Structure 1
Amino acid sequence: MADTIVSGMAGRYATALFELATEAGAVDSVKADLDRLAALIAESADLARLVKSPVFSAEEQLTAVSAILESVGITGLAGNFVKLVAQNRRLFALPGMISDFAALVAAQRGETTAQVTVAAPLSDAHFATLKATLAEKTGKDVNLDVTVDPSILGGLIVKLGSRMVDASLKTKLNSIRHAMKEVR
C-alpha cells in the first residue's frame, strides 16, 4: 500500500475509511456498497446534482442521502461514512473518496487498473487476451476499465499508471498527415 498515494481531503477520508474497514474485516462489503453508490450517482442526474451542488444545506443533503442509502440497503460502515461526509459538507468530494478507496483496496490486493479506449466493444477473446498481456507485463492482476470511443477509428489506447500506449488509427493517421506536411 506504500506505493499507492492518495492525497488531499478525499484521500484522507478514503484512508480513514479503509483503515476502519480493514480493522472491522469489512473491506469487501464496504467496497461493494461504495461501488453501488458510485453507480447510482453516475446513473442519476438528480443524485449527481445533490452530491455536487453547494445550494443544498448539510441537513438537506444528510436527509436526502440517508433516505437514498436506506432505500438501496447501504448500511453499516459505508452508510455511516456517507452520512458523515454529508454532515461535514464534503459530499461534493464523495466520488473522489470512492475512487481513492478503490485504489487502496486494489493496492492491498496487488491489483492495478488499466484505462482502455477502443473504437468498438471488445469481444470476450480480445478482452481476455488484453488482460492476460497486461498482467504478464506488470506482474499484477489487471482490471480493465474499457471505454468505447468511435472517434479513435480503430486500434486502442491503453493507460496503465503513468504509462500510455496510443495505438489508435486516428493517431497514426495524424502522424502520417503531419509527416506529409513536413515533406512539402
Structure 2
Amino acid sequence: MVSFRGASADAAAALAEQVSGSATVADDLFSVAATLRSEGSLRRFATDSSVPAEAKSGLVSGLLDGKVDAATLELVKDAVARRWTRTRDLADALEQAGVVAAVRSSGDDAGRLVDELFTVRSTVGSNSDLRSALSDPARSAADKAALVDSLLAGKALPATVALVKQALAGSFRTVSAALEDYEKVAADVHGQGVATVRVARPLADGEQQRLADALSAQYGRSVHLNVVVDPEVLGGVKVEIGDDVIDGTISSRLDAARRKIAG
C-alpha cells in the first residue's frame, strides 16, 4: 500500500478510518485527488501549515459545495485541516481513502473483490496487447474506461470496475502496480493479509484451506490466497506474503543444488 511518513501517516490513517462505503464518495475522492495533482497552486495552498484551517476549509467549500457528495466535502475539509509531511501526500491519501470507500461499498464481497482484482492484474500482465492498450498515452482516458467496461461490465463487481479504471489514472508507475496495491487495501480493510501462492498444479479445496489456515496462524490474521499455477515451479509451493518469501518448490531446490555443484 502507499507508504506515508510522520504526520502524513497519521492523517492518512484517520481519513481511511472515517470514509464510508460509498461508490459515489470513492469517485468524488478520485476526482479531487486528480485535481490536486494537476493544480500545483491549489495543492500547495491546501497543505500549507501556515494557512489557517478555516481559510483552507472555506476554499474547499467554495470549490466543491454542490459538486460532490456531502460526505466527500466533509472528508476533504477534514483532510486540508491536517498536517502533511509532503505536499503530494494529500492527494495520495485522498486517493487511498477513495480506494477504501470503493472496497467498503462491496460489502460482504471482499474476497471476490480481491480475486477479481488479482485476475485482472494477471490478465494485464500476461496479455501484451491489452497491457499496451491500457498504457497507451495516445488513447484518451474515456477510451480506456470504455475498454474496461467492455471487458468487465456485468461480469465483475462495480467496485472492481471502478478500481480498474482508477488504476489507469497514472498515480502509480503501472496499472499492475496500482491493482496490486488495491488488492492489499481490499484485504486490509477486512482484516486480511494477501499471499501469492505459486504451484505447479491447481490446489484442491482442502489443500488450499489448510495452507490458508497455516498462514493465518503464522501471521496472526486471516490470509487471502491468490493462487498462480506456474509449471516452471515443477512441484512444491512458493508463498509470497508482504516482504516474506517461503520457497519450497522443486525448481528452487534444483537451482540451489546447481549452485552448490558449480561453487
Match of 1:137 among 204, 218, 225: 218
Equivalence map 1:149-168=2 (5 Å):
149-168=230-249
* Post-superposition offset of 1:120: 1.7
Aligned to 1:99: 180
Residues 167, 178 of structure 2: 8 Å contact kept? no
Q: Which runs of 5+ in 1 are unaligned?
A: none
Aligned to 1:110: 191
TM-score computed with the length of structure 2 as normaliser: 0.49
Instruction: Give the Cα separation in 1 of the matches to 2:259 and 2:152.
Output: 56
Q: Which runs of 5+ in 2 are unaligned?
A: 4-87
Instruction: Give the Cα separation in 2 of the matches to 1:120 and 1:85.
Output: 30
Bigger shift: residues 76-85 or 137-146: 76-85
CA RMSD of aligned residues (A): 4.2
Instruction: Give the Cα separation in 2 of the matches to 1:113 and 1:167.
Output: 18
Residues 198, 230 of structure 2: 8 Å contact kept? yes
* Post-superposition offset of 1:160: 1.3
Match of 1:169 among 240, 250, 253: 250
Aligned to 2:73: none
Aligned to 2:201: 120
Bigger shift: residues 93-102 or 50-59: 93-102
Instruction: Give the Cα separation in 2 of the matches to 1:177 and 1:122.
Output: 28
SS at 2:202's partner residue? coil
1:51 is aligned with what amino acid? L
Aligned to 2:2: 6
SS at 1:159's partner residue? strand
Equivalence map 1:42-121=2 (5 Å):
42=123, 48-61=131-144, 64-65=146-147, 68=150, 72=154, 94-121=175-202
Q: Measured at CA, do residues 34 and 13 of structure 1 come closer, stay the same or move farther in structure 2, by a change above 3 Å?
A: farther
* Post-superposition offset of 1:96: 3.9
What whole-Å deviation, never above 9, does each CA across 1:107-146 have from its counterpart, x for those lacking one? Answer: 1221001111112221222212111111111111111111
Instruction: Give the Cα separation in 1 of the matches to 2:152 and 2:228.
Output: 31
2:139 is aligned with what amino acid? F
SS at 1:103's partner residue? helix
Q: Measured at CA, do residues 15 and 71 of structure 1 come closer, stay the same or move farther in structure 2, by a change above 3 Å?
A: closer
SS at 1:115's partner residue? strand
What whole-Å deviation, never above 9, does each CA across 1:10-31 have from its counterpart, x for those lacking one? Answer: 9556413135448xx6253896
TM-score computed with the length of structure 1 as normaliser: 0.66
Q: Measured at CA, do residues 114 and 179 of structure 1 come closer, stay the same or move farther in structure 2, by a change above 3 Å?
A: same
1:103 is aligned with what amino acid? K
Residues 58, 89 of structure 1: 8 Å contact kept? no
State whether structure 2 residue 105 is matched by structure 1 residue 26: yes
* Post-superposition offset of 1:70: 9.6
Q: Measured at CA, do residues 138 and 39 of structure 1 come closer, stay the same or move farther in structure 2, by a change above 3 Å?
A: closer
* Post-superposition offset of 1:60: 3.8
2:154 is aligned with what amino acid? V
Bigger shift: residues 9-18 or 97-106: 9-18
Match of 1:15 among 96, 102, 110: 96
Residues 35, 98 of structure 1: 8 Å contact kept? no
SS at 2:255's partner residue? helix
What whole-Å deviation, never above 9, does each CA across 1:84-103 have from its counterpart, x for those lacking one? Answer: 787x6779855544433332
Q: Measured at CA, do residues 122 and 46 of structure 1 come closer, stay the same or move farther in structure 2, by a change above 3 Å?
A: same
Tell which has more relative contact order, 1 or 2 (C-alpha 8 A, sep 6+).
1
SS at 2:188's partner residue? helix
